[in-house]
């Protein structure tokens, strides 16, 4: 459905604009603390399932399929509220998490600060052992959370 | 420079991974309140200028050129800290703003909540009049902030 700019920006019709690859950006923010946790893409199915189930589902571009966050690691994201931006090509998910959610073992994926053009500094500690989380289920590749 | 997965994820070398279009995603969050303001893309020049000047610069895909946020509207973003995510294909900018920064007139671009698959609800009030902000300089098209 094509809608005009004013309706898109000022209206109250949800009209998510997927890009040419059928994807829309989703930013996840912890509702309680405001901490930005990660960003990923959703296709139409992932967005529908997220709204219907209240659990964050993305589309994995590397694996070419739906990525039900937490399916392997147990680190689900419970989606409390969803917001859209002005031109409806980006979503903001306010979520609850149990512990960490980054596959490297940190709570947020943004655990390093950029100091200058070439260097980073870690600003957080790991909150879980990813090796343990991803080996829970035998036969799983353990590649992503 | 190609670096291995462990260095990329656990190291302290800043190695931003631009996509096939030469862009990297940047999320802007108000440092003081934690409010997520917007998301946009940077190319290498935009990132370099952002780091060098401390003002957020993006790459406008629609206009095909650098987008110095605030150049027209005066609503600059002062970048206090920058973080990178685990696989270094997304940046998080902690910024200071004066007032609004969304071109529609709101503080954040995320001023509408998704109620269900089809409808939105406004959750914020405008903080400035975009018509006024974009007409400050004669001869400007006033298209973007």
Decide if B87 is inside a domain.
Answer: yes
Answer whether B114's CB lies under 8 Å from A83's CB: yes
Helix then strand then coil, in percent of chain A rounded to 5, is 15, 30, 55
Angle formed at CA B115 by CA A65 and CA B33, multiple of 5 degrees: 90
Domain that holds residue A34: 5-134
- The alpha-carbon gap from B83 to the nearest alpha carbon of chain A, in Å, equals 4
Decide if B90 is inside a domain.
Answer: yes
Decide if A53 is inside a domain.
Answer: yes
Residue A104 touches partner B, C-beta closer than 8 Å: yes
Rounded to two decimals, the ipTM of the complex is: 0.92
Q: Which range among A123-137, B5-19, B66-80 has the greatest average pLDDT?
A: B5-19
Strands (E), A53-119: 57-60, 65-68, 78-84, 90-96, 112-114
Q: Is the pLDDT score of B139 beyond 50?
A: no
Instruction: Return the bridge partners of B93, or none.
Output: B28, B82
Which CATH number does the domain housing residue A122 bear?
3.10.20.810
Decide if A144 is inside a domain.
Answer: no
Nearest-10 Cα torsion for B128, A38, B120, A87: 60
Q: Is the dihedral of CA A49, A54, A58, A63 positive or negative?
A: negative
Answer whether B43's CB lies under 8 Å from B59's CB: yes
Confidence of residue B74 (pLDDT cuts 50, 70, 90): confident
Which residues, at least 6 apart from B10, have a Cβ–Cβ distance to it below 8 Å? A104
Q: Which two tokens stand for residue A54?
A: 């209240």
Decide if A139 is inside a domain.
Answer: no
- A98 has binding-site annotation: no
pLDDT tens track for A47-57: 999 999 999 99
User: What does the pLDDT read at residue B93?
Assistant: 98
Decide if A88 is inside a domain.
Answer: yes
Q: Which two tokens stand for residue B25?
A: 């995603």
Q: Is the pLDDT score of A141 beyond 70?
A: no
Q: Is the pLDDT score of B23 beyond 90?
A: yes
Q: Is the pLDDT score of B13 beyond 70?
A: yes
Residue B118 touches partner A, C-beta closer than 8 Å: yes
Confidence of residue A3 (pLDDT cuts 50, 70, 90): confident
Percent of chain B with pLDDT strictly greater than 70: 92
Decide if B138 is inside a domain.
Answer: no
Look-up of token digits 């050129």: B65
User: What does the pLDDT read at residue A100?
Assistant: 87
Confidence of residue B142 (pLDDT cuts 50, 70, 90): very low
pLDDT tens track for B25-61: 999 999 999 999 999 999 999 999 999 999 999 999 9
Give helix then strand counts, H and E, for chain B: 3, 8
- Kindly report the average pLDDT of chain A as a whole number: 91
- A21 has binding-site annotation: no
Decide if B109 is inside a domain.
Answer: no
pLDDT tens track for A40-97: 999 999 999 999 999 999 999 999 999 999 998 888 999 999 999 999 999 999 999 9
- The alpha-carbon gap from A129 to the nearest alpha carbon of chain B, in Å, equals 14
Give helix then strand counts, H and E, for chain A: 3, 8
User: What does the pLDDT read at residue B39?
Assistant: 98
- The alpha-carbon gap from A144 to the nearest alpha carbon of chain B, in Å, equals 12
Domain count for chain B:
1
Using only the alpha carbons of chain A, give its radius of gyration.
Answer: 17
Residue B83 touches partner A, C-beta closer than 8 Å: yes
Average pLDDT for A104-127: 97
Confidence of residue A136 (pLDDT cuts 50, 70, 90): low
Confidence of residue B143 (pLDDT cuts 50, 70, 90): very low
């Amino acid at each position: 459905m094509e809608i005009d700019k004013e309706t898109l920006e000022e209206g109250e019709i949800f009209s998510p604009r997927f890009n040419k690859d059928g994807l829309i950006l989703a930013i996840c923010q912890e509702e309680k603390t405001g901490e930005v946790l990660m960003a990923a893409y959703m296709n139409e199915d992932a967005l529908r399932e997220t709204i219907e189930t209240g659990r964050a589902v993305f589309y994995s571009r590397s694996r070419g399929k739906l990525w039900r966050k937490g399916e392997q690691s147990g680190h689900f994201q419970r989606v409390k509220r969803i917001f859209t931006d002005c031109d409806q090509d980006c979503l903001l998910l306010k979520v609850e998490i149990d512990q960490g959610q980054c596959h490297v073992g940190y709570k947020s994926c943004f655990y390093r600060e950029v100091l200058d053009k070439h260097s980073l500094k870690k600003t957080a500690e790991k909150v879980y052992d990813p090796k343990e989380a991803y080996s829970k289920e035998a036969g799983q590749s353990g590649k992503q959370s």
